[in-house]
Amino acid sequence: MTTFLRKRIISSAVPLVFVVLGVFCLARLTGNPVDLYLPLSATPGQRAEFSAAHGFDDSIPVQLWHYLTQAAQLDFGTSLRTGQSATTMVLDAFPVTLQLAGMTMLLAILGALLVGSLAAHRPNSLIDRIAGLLSMTAASIPDFWFAIMGVLVFGVGLDLLPTSGTLGGPEIWVLPIATLLIRPFGVLVQVVRGSMVGALSAPYVKVARSKGAGAGRVVFGHALRNSVTPVLTVAGDLTVGLVNGAVIVETIFGWPGIGKLMIDSILQRDFAALQAAVLITAVTIFALNILVDVCQALIDPRVRQAVPA
Amino acid sequence: MTDPTPRPDAETYADADADAGTGTGTENCPPSARPPRWWRLLGRDRGAAVAAVVLALVFLVALFGRLFIGDRAIRQDLGASLRPPSLDHGFYGLLGTDVLGRSVLARLVEAAGTTLYVAVPAVLCSLVIGSALGMWAGYHGGWRENVAMRVADVILSFPSLLIAVVVLYVFAPSALNIVLILAIARVPVYLRTARAESAELRSRLFVDAARTFGTPSRNIIHRHILPIALPTLLTVATLDFCFVMLTESSLSFLGIGIQPPDVSWGLMVAQGRQYLQTAWWIAVLPGIAIVLTTVSATVLAAWVRLATDPGQRWRLTLPKKRRGARAAVPPEMIA
């Protein structure tokens, strides 16, 4: 188990390093923020002073070195946009997105396990076809459009739910979570159904049936454990995609989360905030991948033995 | 099917029987050696046929629509501002007008062109590059495989929308740049699939035989690995078409994709968003266009998967109920 964990950590850390370096370089490519933050009438002297104050006049390797040494001490500099510490901004925004994403994935996985198992229980039955069509549609709806339709129908038309903002009771969660939920849910239902169908035709399920186990016990007791491994893998990949969704959802509903922070920082060349936000996202995804691997190893002994290189 | 031809592939048949759980002998026989025509297979599957027709229509509109609408997609007529969909204002007033009095129908047609001019080249680029690299890496194994997979990991571990946002911000958000960034973001999907297929195929007997005869690896990949990996890759490409379309519309919606005066479906939704309360049709209709196209592509992908696999194709000649319960698309491909 320790060897397994060590190998997985090393192979997942490589992308992490590349992402951090890549964002640093790409952010520098977006141009010098001086042009954006100082008026056109600024004298060359003022521009040089602004650059020096924020370290933009150093060479790129020097800037990178500063960035890495400070990041090691959890200091990501100050945001150009707000003058706040980037760390504070990110730590304020992160829990919002984490709650949103965590709730979404939990609901998506539980819902998909239920619907997918029901569909796989009787392949080509009415339930299976309805679930198939629904999941395909859910996975293909553009999330921004779904969000706008939600606002139109429930916010404007029926006046049941708030159209944006984070003030209010539990009803503020409904539309953002529903928007984030549709794609992972649709994809996962198809994955659960696919792997369930495979598991249900396996010999050990026949044995369980012939011993007289009921339908519920066969599906949830025997087949589910075996078919949950691919579901976890796909769920891990989908969580990366959830960041895409978070950008859209937080923009539309005005949530002060990490997605909105990132897009605002990119558009306003706020390097410090962008790098901190990307780093915390990358670290979360990294931790999540490890978690998925550990869960899989715990659930399925075959994964533990066949350690990937 | 009461085709008395002997079973060409006993294993497939036994497998299928177990899946279908019927076990009623001769009726499920695979058809004769000559494969059935693909349009007959398509006709058998009503869902896939409808999807194919919808997609064909979208492509026809995208290709030729611009010839008919002229400049109606950009012609402004402030007197006709925000007309709801109705039959009173001729063909181009059918779906209403936007705030500048431009025909929504004409704009939808124009946008269909833009959307597909971005999505199709992006999918083709990533399909060709990803498959070639993946098959090469999988066939040779060793360091080539490791490097290719690590590159795929790096690209996939970063949210594609954010890469696109950063890159499009650095370089101007032109259609060409959108195609390039979408292609790069999706290469890993094909890379992984092609690598897995070719790593499995390289130890098969027919590949060994070809190698023994001294066939160069380039030809082995081309003649022996590509034909077997192609159905899977095409299925992935059909599914990926949805993803690329959705990403393009998200980018356009965020204001960093297609720029006005060009128009894409995502951009139309963004433009209609502020008139949501007074003129719902501006934002709703392009969304429906996106959903119709992507759902059709998804439905067709499931069919392509079966129709291009010689071992599975005969299932399509059966009525749907007896086709068996095989998962249409393997789970690892969907995400």
Does the pLDDT of residue B125 top 90, yes or no?
Answer: yes
Does the pLDDT of residue B27 top 50, yes or no?
Answer: no
Contacts of B259-262 with C-beta under 8 Å, sequence gap 24+, read: B259/B173, B259/B174, B261/B74, B262/B114, B262/B175
Distance of alpha carbon B329 from the chain centroid: 13
Partners of A144 on chain B (C-beta within 8 Å) are 249-250, 253, 266, 269-270
pLDDT in tens, A8-51: 777 777 777 877 787 777 767 766 666 666 677 777 777 777 77
The pLDDT of residue B129: 93
Gap from A141 CA to chain B (nearest CA, Å): 5
Partners of A101 on chain B (C-beta within 8 Å) are none
CATH 1.10.3720.10 segments of chain A:
87-301
Partners of B327 on chain A (C-beta within 8 Å) are 193-195, 197-198
Subunit contact B246:A151, Cβ cutoff 8 A: no
Pick the most confident of A26-30, A294-298, A305-309, B163-167.
A294-298
Q: Which residue has the higher pLDDT, B162 or A91?
A: A91
The pLDDT of residue A261: 86
Residue among A143, A148, A204 with most chain B CBs within 10 A, to mutate: A148
The pLDDT of residue B1: 38
- Indicate whether this complex's ipTM tops 0.90: no
Task: Tell the residue number behind the tokens 């850390």, with chain if given.
Answer: A13
pLDDT band, very low/low/confident/very high, at B130 (cuts 50, 70, 90):
very high
The answer for residues whose C-beta is within 8 angstroms of residue A233's C-beta and 6 or more apart is: A292, A296, B331, B332
DSSP code per residue over chain A: -HHHHHHHHHHHHHHHHHHHHHHHHHHHHT--THHHHS-TT--HHHHHHHHHHHTTTS-HHHHHHHHHHHHHTT---B-TTT-SBHHHHHHHHHHHHHHHHHHHHHHHHHHHHHHHHHHHHSTTSHHHHHHHHHHHHHHHS-HHHHHHHHIIIIIIIS--S-SS-S-SSGGGGHHHHHHHHHHHHHHHHHHHHHHHHHHHTSHHHHHHHHTT--HHIIIIIIIHHHHHHHHHHHHHHHHHHHHHHHHHHHHHHT--SHHHHHHHHHHTT-HHHHHHHHHHHHHHHHHHHHHHHHHHHHH-HHHHHS---
Subunit contact B161:A191, Cβ cutoff 8 A: no
Q: Which residue has the higher pLDDT, B82 or B202?
A: B202
Q: Which residue has the higher pLDDT, A140 or B130?
A: B130
pLDDT in tens, A193-210: 888 887 888 888 888 888
Measure the CA–CA gap between A26 and B78, rounded to whole angstroms. 43
Subunit contact A142:B246, Cβ cutoff 8 A: yes
Minimal Cβ distance to B250: which of A19, A156, A248: A248
Residues A225-248, mean pLDDT to the nearest whole number: 82
Q: In the numeric block, which tokens belong to residue A266?
A: 């990119």
pLDDT band, very low/low/confident/very high, at A190 (cuts 50, 70, 90):
confident
Minimal Cβ distance to B161: which of A19, A152, A244: A244
Measure the CA–CA gap between A279 and A24, rounded to whole angstroms. 10
The pLDDT of residue B105: 83
Specify the CATH number of the domain B46-333: 1.10.3720.10
Neighbours of A298 (CB within 10 A): 11
Minimal Cβ distance to A144: which of B162, B253, B277: B253
Gap from A188 CA to chain B (nearest CA, Å): 9
Q: Tell the CATH superfamily of the A87-301 domain.
A: MetI-like (1.10.3720.10)
Would you say A207 and A222 are in contact if contact means Cβ atoms under 8 Å apart?
Answer: no
The pLDDT of residue B24: 39
Distance of alpha carbon B217 from the chain centroid: 30
Partners of B14 on chain A (C-beta within 8 Å) are none
Q: Which residue has the higher pLDDT, A232 or B98?
A: A232
pLDDT band, very low/low/confident/very high, at B17 (cuts 50, 70, 90):
very low
Partners of A120 on chain B (C-beta within 8 Å) are 325
pLDDT in tens, B257-311: 888 778 888 888 888 888 877 778 888 888 888 888 988 888 888 787 777 766 6
Measure the CA–CA gap between B134 and B128, rounded to whole angstroms. 10
Subunit contact B331:A191, Cβ cutoff 8 A: yes
pLDDT band, very low/low/confident/very high, at B64 (cuts 50, 70, 90):
confident
